[in-house]
């Protein structure tokens, strides 16, 4: 029986490499989204602490410049939060698109892999059929040989 050789092995490796690249990019975008989520939580915590500090100062005696500096810090945190939220939204969109790209590359890889399996099965079936036919020919020839030898 001849061994099976997949003629599209280079294509399979190429599809696998593209799939791996897409997977690593998708993983990177997931990490970026998580990093931005953490950054957003920290910024919101800072904003809340500044707000709490400003409320405490307003309850007791306070100076105008202290409240002014706290208010400007609060405004800066709001700007930072809105910037981070925008970055997070963009990162999530990138993550979704990279997920779709990965799924596409994965399905292309699996299609070539399935083709290899089908060709391998067809090869083994064909080789098995050849062997069966050869065995039948040998058995038939042996039967004829024995018949001829009996008659002689």
Contact call for residues 36 and 87 (beta carbons, < 8 A) = yes
Give the per-residue pLDDT at 152: 62
At residue 143, does pLDDT exceed 90?
no
The pLDDT assigned to 53 comes to 84
Cα dihedral sign, 23-25-31-37:
negative
Report the pLDDT value the prediction gives residue 39, as an integer from 0 to 100.
97
Closest CA to 89 of 26, 33, 24: 33
For residues 76-99, give the mean pLDDT: 97
| % of the chain residues with pLDDT over 70 | 96
Going along the chain from its start, the domains and CATH numbers come out as 9-112 (1.10.287.1700)
Task: Name which residue leads in pLDDT, 134 or 36.
Answer: 36
Question: pLDDT at residue 118 above 90?
Answer: yes
């Amino acid at each position: 029986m001849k061994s099976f050789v997949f003629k599209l092995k280079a294509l399979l490796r190429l599809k696998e490499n593209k799939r791996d690249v897409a997977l690593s990019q998708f993983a990177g975008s997931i990490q970026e989204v998580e990093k931005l989520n953490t950054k957003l939580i920290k910024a919101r915590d800072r904003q809340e602490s500044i707000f709490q500090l400003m409320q405490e100062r307003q309850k007791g005696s306070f100076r105008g410049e202290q409240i002014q500096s706290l208010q400007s810090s609060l405004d800066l945190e709001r700007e930072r939060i809105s910037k981070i939220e925008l970055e997070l939204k963009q990162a999530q969109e990138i993550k979704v698109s990279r997920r779709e790209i990965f799924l596409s590359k994965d399905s292309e890889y699996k299609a070539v892999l399935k083709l290899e399996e089908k060709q391998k099965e067809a090869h083994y079936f064909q080789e098995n059929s050849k062997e069966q036919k050869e065995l039948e020919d040998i058995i038939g020839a042996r039967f004829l040989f024995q018949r001829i030898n009996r008659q002689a």
